[in-house]
Amino acid sequence: MTGPSMPPPNAPAPNTVHYTAPPARPLLAPGTSTSTPWIWVIVLLPMVGLSSIWLLDPIRLMPAPGDLDSVEVMPFRIWADPMMLLIVGVSYLTSAVTIVAAFLDFRALERIGVVRPFHWAWAFTTLAVGPLVYLIGRTVIVGKVTPGRGGAPLWAAIAVTVLGMINVGIWTFWLMGRALDWAFAVGAV
């Protein structure tokens, strides 16, 4: 009586796909700079968008005392406000510039000799979460080809993010003060 043949213990399973790791990235020559002007554009550009919040003063769009009919259209008034449209436009423009700068940074890293740099298309995540995804990925790749170097853009981006949070916090306190002034003026408090 013969049964199905058994493969040797160390043989690969049938229909198994075998993947190999990509070849290691070669190290760059000592002293090779991976700092491109484009990465610094990506790092510092959020300051433009974060500063534009000061252009918005929603309290000036609030209804006058006794004008309760306009409360229903308040959200539409904010979104139709020229300053709000400017802020949204600045936001989209900074995102577009970030994506273009990431593409140019990617090409510059290839010219420097970085094999398979972090792909520039990850910069599209800036539309949802900002440029940190591209910056983190780029820092990891650059750190592999220049051990111990290449982290300055990420640290600068973290500092910009913290400054942005402080900026928004200060603006929020200012806005709350304006809102209380309005509430007292209309007798809501």
Residue 2 has pLDDT above 90, yes or no: no
Residue 150 has pLDDT above 80, yes or no: yes
Helices in 30-81 by DSSP H: which ranges? 37-44, 46-51, 74-80
Per-residue model confidence (pLDDT) at position 17: 73
Within 8 A by CB and 6+ apart from 46, the residues are: 94, 130, 131, 157, 160, 161, 164
Between the alpha carbon of residue 99 and those of residues 78, 94, 111, 129, 152, the distances in Å are 29, 9, 19, 13, 20
**pLDDT greater at residue 143 or residue 186:** 143
The pLDDT tens digits of the residues spanning 48-84 come to 988 998 998 887 777 666 665 566 666 777 778 888 8
pTM over 0.85: no
State mean pLDDT over 11-22.
71
The pLDDT tens digits of the residues spanning 19-41 come to 788 888 899 998 899 999 999 99
Q: Which two tokens stand for residue 83?
A: 């300053």
The pLDDT tens digits of the residues spanning 160-169 come to 999 999 999 9
* Cβ atoms of 163 and 49 closer than 8 Å: no
Q: Which two tokens stand for residue 7?
A: 């493969």
Give dist(CA 105, CA 6) in Å, integer.
54
